[in-house]
Amino acid sequence: MIAGIRHSRAPKMIFKHNDLVDLEAKLASLPLEQPKIIAFESVYSMCGSISPIEKICDLAEKYGAITFLDEVHAVGMYGQRGAGVAEHLDWGRSVDKRSVMDRVDIITGTLGKAYGNVGGYIAGSRNLVDTVRSLAPGFIFTTSLPPHVMAGATAAVEYQKQTLSDRIAQQLAVRKTKQLLSELDIPVVPGPSHIVPVLIGNAALAKTVSDKLLHDEGVYVQAINYPTVAVGEERLRFTPTPGHTDELIAQLGESMKRVWRELDVPTVSEWAALGGRAGVGVVDAKVVEPIWTDKQLGLCKSGVRMKTGGDIGIGVEHATRAVLLEGRA
């Protein structure tokens, strides 16, 4: 998305992460008739936050902009059919009310990640898709994906459309992982999605922790450093899957407990003593609720919440940035 904005050579403005006030101020500063695209993601992969899609669509309609939503980190994992967060927000919505997916002008996704293949796609109106097909050099001059790849991608999409149980299993694994790390005082950056970022706060230490977990504990997790995240907010990023059983999650906890002790990695308590960072150890922080509700996960019976190991995720979302691209379409 960033590369596309750069290659477009159109003027751009960057609004603060999920900050609707800042976005509206920037939209209001432009002529109403000037073409504008609001480009943003549904799930931000390094902090796990989720964008306010409906409210961004409200602003787009108010100020004459179109919307470009990147669902790469959400397809296959959100929504009743796995179409992404926009579909997830339509869960239980009255059929008489316009869907969130229908309000977004352009949705882009991947055939990798949750679909286990390669390639990507956009979804939008017939005219918009035809415009991209006819005018985008990146599409026109790229070799088409081979038939066997497309057959695999089609099978994966069809499977996920019919397999809600996989998404539920992943979300349960996410909750259990976050709960366990919380109990161990290991600093998870709070967020409503399946991403489990663990704050380290130092680039060299993050690399050392990652290496030690791999070589000594058999746990593979990547260290995330600047420029992907801000300096001082270096982290590890875990993504639990439906295949991560309770036993594996417990083993992860034991491994991280040993590594945290051996390398003297900062805990939640230590971050709190420093005033908090990236939503970790922040006093009186707002609770961040998971986007998957207990009801959607089948954890409620007759209106009563069933015990699943406690509520997860307390803190303030990490401040990354989305982009507003305005200029000629």
What's the pLDDT score for residue 327? 34
Q: Are 86 and 101 in contact (CB under 8 A)?
A: yes
Residues 282, 99: Cα–Cα separation, whole Å: 36
Q: Which of 12, 26, 55, 113 is catalytic?
A: 113
Catalytic residue list contains 113: yes
Q: Which amino acid is at 109?
A: G
What's the pLDDT score for residue 142? 87
Walk along the chain (329 residues) in steps of 10 and give the mean pLDDT of each run.
Answer: 88 96 98 96 95 98 97 96 96 85 96 94 94 89 92 96 96 97 97 97 98 97 94 97 96 97 97 95 92 93 47 30 36
Q: What is the tens place of the pLDDT at every residue in 2-45?
A: 888 898 899 999 999 999 999 999 999 999 999 999 999 999 99
164, containing H or E segment: helix 164-183
3-class state of residue 5 by DSSP: helix
Q: Which amino acid is at 79?
A: G
Domains of the chain (ranges plus CATH)? 2-163+320-326 (3.40.640.10), 164-305 (3.90.1150.10)
Residues 82, 137: Cα–Cα separation, whole Å: 30
**What residues contact 280, with CB distance under 8 A and at least 6 apart?**
187, 188, 189, 190, 199, 268, 271, 272, 315
Among candidate residues 180, 234, 177, the one with its CA nearest the CA of residue 208: 234
**What residues contact 82, with CB distance under 8 A and at least 6 apart?**
75, 76, 114, 157, 160, 161, 163, 167
Which pTM was predicted? Answer: 0.86
Q: What is the tens place of the pLDDT at every residue in 264-298?
A: 999 999 999 999 999 999 998 889 999 999 999 99
